[in-house]
Structure 1
Amino acid sequence: MALIDTVMATVHLLVGGLWTGSVLFFAVAVLPTARAGNIRAAAFEAIISRLTMGSRIAALLMFVTGGHLAGTRYTVGSLTGSGRGHLVLTMLALWFVLTALVEIANGRAKDGLEQKKVRTPAEKAAPFYLGAAVVAVFLLIDAGLLLN
């Protein structure tokens, strides 16, 4: 049983780090390039497609591994009645917000790419990607607090 818990915790941490990192990289490196029009529509669309697929897979893996970890480490009482439990519940809420923001942003960014435009779709999606980046930072902070 300890091996399963270790595997779940490892997958959870790796996927969480990769997901938040990819969202932050997109917001800091790819989005400004697209907003400036310095990327081709096909390349921008390919990156968005990968971010979409990665985000969906990550959301599923985080739900499964996080659910396992919460189910084996916490009770309803300890989730709702302790500081660590509150951090876990906050993390759950932040993961849902991150998922929603990335999905909305990806949808907005894909609008207009059929006409081979980049700047306008990137501008329409920018607030959602930037919001997702802020949420990703808060997730990393929350994860750091849970390590103590």
Structure 2
Amino acid sequence: MSLIDAVMNAIHLGFAGLWVGSVIFLTVAILPLARQGALDAAPLETVTARLQWISRISALLLFVSGGHLAGTRYTVDSLFGSAQGYLVLAMLALWFALAMLVEIGSKRLMTGFADRKVRQPANEARPYFLGASIVGVLLFVDAGLLSVPTAIPF
């Protein structure tokens, strides 16, 4: 493995963990408080804005680093014709789904900030963040399967 591959792998894994961890933290720790009315709009707005930045930067860096890693490890034939390749393509689809769910959930959450509302927007955003959290877990399952090629059952 070259130095550039090692750097790309570190970027990929680091930002994947940061992104999915941030989404899950918002889902299980922040949203329940917001739904109960225990948070004001101002701190929730700050947390949501930071999550959006983390999500957007992570999506970009994961696309670049993952593209590099896929380009150096797979041919077109192996990407579209092997179990490993299908897992890589599934990962790409799941990253896209994660980005979409975080963006929609964040927009739903932010709808009430101007009026200082928290409970209703948190309730409306919850399904998107639950979905994003599930997608995040699936991404790590996918990554685990990719890391051990003999574990792929198909």
- TM-score bracket, shorter-length normalisation: over 0.9
Q: Could you tell me which amino acid in structure 2 is paired with residue 87 of structure 1?
A: L
Alignment of 1:99-138 (within 5 A): 99-138=99-138
Equivalences for residues 5-20 of structure 1 within 5 A: 5-20=5-20
Q: Which residue of 1 aligns with 2:22?
A: 22
> Structure 1 CA distance, aligned partners of 2:130 and 2:38?
19
Q: Which residue of 2 aligns with 1:73?
A: 73
In the TM superposition, residue 18 of structure 1 has moved relative to its aligned partner by: 1.0
> How does the TM-score come out when normalised to structure 1?
0.98
Where does structure 2 lack aligned partners over 5 or more consecutive residues?
Answer: 149-154
Alpha-carbon offset, residue 112 of structure 1: 1.1
Counterpart of 2:64?
Answer: 64
TM-score in terms of structure 2 length: 0.94
**What is the rounded CA distance, in whole Å, between the counterparts of 2:16 and 2:10 in structure 1?**
10
For residues 41-73 of structure 1, give each alpha carbon's deviation from its aligned partner in whole angstroms, at most 9, with x where no partner exists.
Answer: 100000000000110000000000000001111
2:92 corresponds to 1:89: no
**Local SS of the residue matching 1:142:** helix
Percent pairwise identity: 57
Question: Within 2, Cα distance between the matches of 1:142 and 1:70?
Answer: 14
Task: Count residues in correspondence.
Answer: 148
Runs of 4+ in 1 over 4 A off after TM superposition: none
The secondary structure found in structure 2 opposite 1:115 is: coil
- Structure 1: gaps of 5 or more residues: none
